[in-house]
Structure 1
Amino acid sequence: MPAFDETATSEQVIEAFASQIKGRTFVITGAGHPSIGSQMAVSIAKGAPAHILIASRTGKKVEPVLAKIAEIDSSIKATFVQVDLTDHESVRRAAKEILAAAPKIDVLINSAGVMAIKDYTLDKQGIELQLSANHVGHFLLTNLLAPALIAAGSEPLGARVVNLTSSGYLASPFRFDDWNYSNGKTYDRWTGYGQAKTANILFTYGLHKRLSSRGVTSTATHPGYNHDTELGNHVTREDYAEIPAIVKRNTGKDWVWESPGTKTFTQIAATSLIAALDPELPAKSPAYLMNSQVHEAAPHATDPESVEKLWKLSEELVGQKFEY
């Protein structure tokens, strides 16, 4: 298999792994344009999948993505399902629609997310918004879609779940004693983001433990930094300057900005596409990928006790147990 690095592009990944796309079904959250999700959807369309289903909040932003898919290959079934991941009723409704449209899901890519929300904000269920949008909504959606993933897991290529995280997870471990920030008293934007991104990795490990025996593997990916998507439109240079001090306070460690500093729009999707397609990855999973390679994640994001504690807390937050 080809060896990719931080310069890898979506086009290179698709060319290498086209055989892993043909005739398969992909579900991607948060793929309105412009986003990492939209770049992945359009890239996957070049490999002749049977079905690309986009679960996203805003239909208007998904329309150009569906149009581009049709332009690339009009034979691909392309479906939009509206979902607000911070509203559990919306997630449950969307899961039913997705299962009806795609009873077998080969690859689920949880790409939707928010970053560095300045003011302490709660979702409909009373959960801090970054934790809600980045983790809890995806935890619920993924588990509700498990029957379709398990159905694909019995196929020769198996099934996969890819959870987009961030190197921002290094800003904070999961705060089990104060995950909702004492009603906002202990909240800051980067600790909130760090906790949510740590949750993405802990969830990846918990999901893999429960479903790998059914042919469903799980990986977490850090895409890298990019300014073409709308994720950080509201974040200023001064906001980013807050990160080192917050990381030091929360973890006792120094923050190091990674290289390369910024990736292009096509490079930003490459690592997650590798996680979704590389045939060698299931044997290495659960895994954390950055710059197209498997890396060892910090212990606070992979600790088995924390993995189980988060799974239990997440079940409590969504009001449903998931046992496999």
Structure 2
Amino acid sequence: MPIFDSSTTASDVVAAFSEQAAGKTFVITGGSTGGLGAAVALALASAKPSMILLLGRTESKIDPVIKDISNISPTTKAQFIEMDLLLLSSVRTAAASVAALVSKIDVLINNAGIMGTKLARTPEGVESQFAANHIGHFLLTNLLVPQLQQAAGKARVVNVSSKLYQFSPMDFSDPQFASTPWNTWLAYGQSKTANILFAVALSKRLESKGVRSYSLHPGNIKQTGLAAGVDPQSWPVIMKLFEEKDMEIPKEKTLEQGAATSVAAALDPQLDSASGAFLDDCQVAKALGYASSEENAEKLWSLSERIVGEVFSY
């Protein structure tokens, strides 16, 4: 089996495991041109999957990616589905659209996200980074579980997190910053911790039903444009947090290198026995206790159900 590291590209991973992608159906959130989701989709296209569905807010930003997929693999059906992760009604509509198109999903990649934004809230009063990065994906994933369960026991859910989860655990006493002084990087860190805990909770519920889940750090990828939404006044704050937490700034990667761990999480058969794991550089890595705790995963699940107004039992 190949040895992957920080220099591995998404194309390297697909080349190693192309048989794991051929003829499969992939659903990816956030597929705008130039972004991480697009890089993942284009790499997967080279293995000739059956279908790639790209979920996002703006069709004009995803259309070029769909055209590129079709050029790489004319037999792959690629399609845009509109979805705004900040609106639960939009997530429900998108999930229904996906279910109407496919009876089976092999891999769901929860890739879309926002970072370092000014304080904003959804109609339900949820802080926007927690909403877009976790709550929207929590709802989408659970609504698509029937399709994931049809993948012959081989389905995977991939949550794109970040090493910046180390900025903050889940603050279950005040997750929406109702009384806590606003700090966009603590909010971002909390949302990325939620991505990891969500994978833990999903694994506990669904591994026995043939659905595995993973979370991952893609790398520090400046090409994606994720930083374009950062509140400029918050940059000095993040440097202070790196110092306070005694954290190293994550290593910078190219877009192709950044997409590699998402593709590994989707395809690498060696990960079959590691459901619930956090990945870095395409390998299983250790997450801090608060982000890997089953107790915290259960608390997050309950909080998430309350926010979306629906209970999911498996």
When normalised by structure 2's length, the TM-score is 0.97
Aligned residue runs from structure 1 range 128-207, under 5 A: 128-152=127-151, 154-155=152-153, 158-182=154-178, 185-207=180-202
Deviating more after overlay: 211-220 vs 237-246: 237-246
Cα 1:147/1:46, change in 2 over 3 Å:
same
For residues 8 and 109 of structure 1, the distance between their equivalents in structure 2, rounded to whole angstroms, comes to 19
The aligned counterpart of 2:249 is 257
Q: Residues 114 and 229 of structure 2 are in contact (CA less than 8 Å); yes or no, is this contact kept in structure 1?
A: no
The aligned counterpart of 1:225 is 220
Q: Residues 227 and 262 of structure 1 are in contact (CA less than 8 Å); yes or no, is this contact kept in structure 2?
A: yes
2:299 is aligned with 1:309: yes
Aligned residue runs from structure 1 range 86-125, under 5 A: 86-117=86-117, 119-125=118-124
For residues 12 and 165 of structure 1, the distance between their equivalents in structure 2, rounded to whole angstroms, comes to 21
Unaligned runs of 5+ in 2: none
Q: Residues 29 and 54 of structure 2 are in contact (CA less than 8 Å); yes or no, is this contact kept in structure 1?
A: yes
SS in 1 for 2:54: strand
Amino acid across the alignment from 1:228: Q
* Match among 288, 304, 309 for residue 319 of structure 1: 309
Query: How far is 1:246 from its partner?
Result: 3.4
Query: How far is 1:125 from its partner?
Result: 1.6
SS in 2 for 1:280: helix
The aligned counterpart of 1:71 is 71
Amino acid across the alignment from 2:227: G
Deviating more after overlay: 69-78 vs 130-139: 69-78
Query: How far is 1:240 from its partner?
Result: 4.0
Deviating more after overlay: 73-82 vs 197-206: 73-82
Query: How far is 1:145 from its partner?
Result: 0.2
Deviating more after overlay: 132-141 vs 122-131: 122-131
* Match among 206, 214, 219 for residue 211 of structure 1: 206
CA RMSD of aligned residues (A): 1.5
Q: Residues 36 and 268 of structure 1 are in contact (CA less than 8 Å); yes or no, is this contact kept in structure 2?
A: yes
Aligned-pair identity (%): 44
SS in 1 for 2:90: helix
The aligned counterpart of 1:2 is 2
For residues 290 and 246 of structure 2, the distance between their equivalents in structure 1, rounded to whole angstroms, comes to 15
For residues 237 and 314 of structure 1, the distance between their equivalents in structure 2, rounded to whole angstroms, comes to 30
- What's the CA shift string for 1:138-173, capped at 9, x where partnerless? 000000000000111x34xx1000000001100000
Q: Residues 120 and 128 of structure 1 are in contact (CA less than 8 Å); yes or no, is this contact kept in structure 2?
A: yes
For residues 209 and 19 of structure 1, the distance between their equivalents in structure 2, rounded to whole angstroms, comes to 27
Cα 1:237/1:13, change in 2 over 3 Å:
farther
- What's the CA shift string for 1:153-205, capped at 9, x where partnerless? x34xx10000000011000000000101126x521110010000000000000
Aligned residue runs from structure 1 range 236-247, under 5 A: 239-246=234-241
For residues 280 and 265 of structure 2, the distance between their equivalents in structure 1, rounded to whole angstroms, comes to 10
Unaligned runs of 5+ in 1: none
Q: Residues 244 and 255 of structure 1 are in contact (CA less than 8 Å); yes or no, is this contact kept in structure 2?
A: no
Q: Residues 172 and 247 of structure 1 are in contact (CA less than 8 Å); yes or no, is this contact kept in structure 2?
A: no
* Match among 260, 285, 293 for residue 275 of structure 2: 285
SS in 1 for 2:255: coil
2:47 is aligned with 1:57: no
SS in 2 for 1:162: strand
For residues 77 and 17 of structure 1, the distance between their equivalents in structure 2, rounded to whole angstroms, comes to 20
Amino acid across the alignment from 2:291: A
Q: Residues 184 and 234 of structure 2 are in contact (CA less than 8 Å); yes or no, is this contact kept in structure 1?
A: no
The number of residue pairs the alignment matches comes to 314
For residues 84 and 190 of structure 1, the distance between their equivalents in structure 2, rounded to whole angstroms, comes to 22
For residues 182 and 93 of structure 1, the distance between their equivalents in structure 2, rounded to whole angstroms, comes to 29
